[in-house]
Structure 1
Amino acid sequence: MNDTIAKFGYPATLIAEYDHWVVLLRPAQPTLGALVLAAKSDATAFGDLLAAAHAELKVATSAIEAALSQAVGYTRINYLMLMMVDPHVHFHVLPRYDGERMGAGLAVTDTGWPGPPDLAQAVKLGDAQIAALTGWLKPYFA
């Protein structure tokens, strides 16, 4: 695993794993169910990923969308590839909705709805909340 994956709390935040990608709980939740979809490789440019990683992106995003649809009931989903601080290829995956959603004892309001996501208002999770949300979301990926 690369440094970007480690920075997002792997292995404690691991929700699903594929050959070329991991799905991690985002430790700061701008919306409930916010994830990080990170490439396992050391690539720092999207175009540098192997063709197999690009093909597997279809599998990973389909699983993410099905799982978050059930868990959160989002209206839209945003994939943000920012890579400004953390250089390895990864997306911030944000389910978007009007109002508040609850899961694993945590309530999160999408404060940016219906505009761009408001990352500054993210709920920062403690270790117990990370464990609870990760445990809550994993079965949706089974």
Structure 2
Amino acid sequence: MNATLQKFGYPAGLVREYRHWAVLLRPAQVTLGALVLAALSNVTAFSALPPAAFTELHEVTGDIGAGLAKFQPHDRINYLMLMMVDPHVHFHVLPRYAVAQQFAGVSFADAGWPGPPDLKSATA
């Protein structure tokens, strides 16, 4: 297990694991339903992933889109691959909403809408 997976709560926050990828609930919810899609390998360059990981990525992103739509309809999904602090290959998956969403008595505003997401405005 790489340090990036650990930082984002693997295995406790695991939503689903694939052969090459793990989908995790993002501990800091920038938007309602925010996830982390992390490679299970130790590579630190996207291009270093094996070809099978890219093939599987099609299935994973389809499952994420369908699952998020079922959980809470969204206006867009942003996949951000920044890897500036956490070096292993991963994406921040952020469903985007034009209006604030309510869940379990908590309001989740998309502070950056309609521009880039505001990663500092997370709900824990």
Gap runs ≥5 in structure 1: 125-142
What residue in structure 2 maps to residue 48 of structure 1? Answer: 48
Corresponding residue SS for 1:28: coil
2:33 maps to which residue? 33
Q: Give the TM-score taking structure 2 as reference length.
A: 0.96
- Tell me the distance in 2 between the aligned counterparts of 1:36 and 1:59: 16
* Alignment partner, residue 91 of structure 1: 91
Find the counterpart in structure 2 of residue 24 from structure 1: 24
Structure 1-normalised TM-score? 0.84
Q: Offset of 1:104 from its aligned partner?
A: 4.2
Report the equivalent of 2:119: 119
C-alpha displacement at 1:72, in angstroms?
1.6
Identity %: 62
Measure, in 2, the Cα distance between the counterparts of 1:37 and 1:88.
11
How far 1:105 sits from its partner (Å)?
Answer: 4.3
Moved over 2 A (4+): 102-107
User: Which one-letter code corresponds to 2:15 in the other structure?
Assistant: I
Structure 2 unaligned residues grouped into runs of 5+: none
The equivalent residue for 1:8 is 8
Matches of 1:18 and 1:106, distance apart in 2: 31
Cα distance in 1 for residues equivalent to 2:123 and 2:51: 35
1:1-26 per-residue CA deviation (whole Å, 9 max, x = no partner) reads: 21100000111110011000000000
Please give the alpha-carbon distance, in whole angstroms, between the structure 1 residues aligned to 2:106 and 2:2.
Answer: 29
1:62 aligned residue:
62
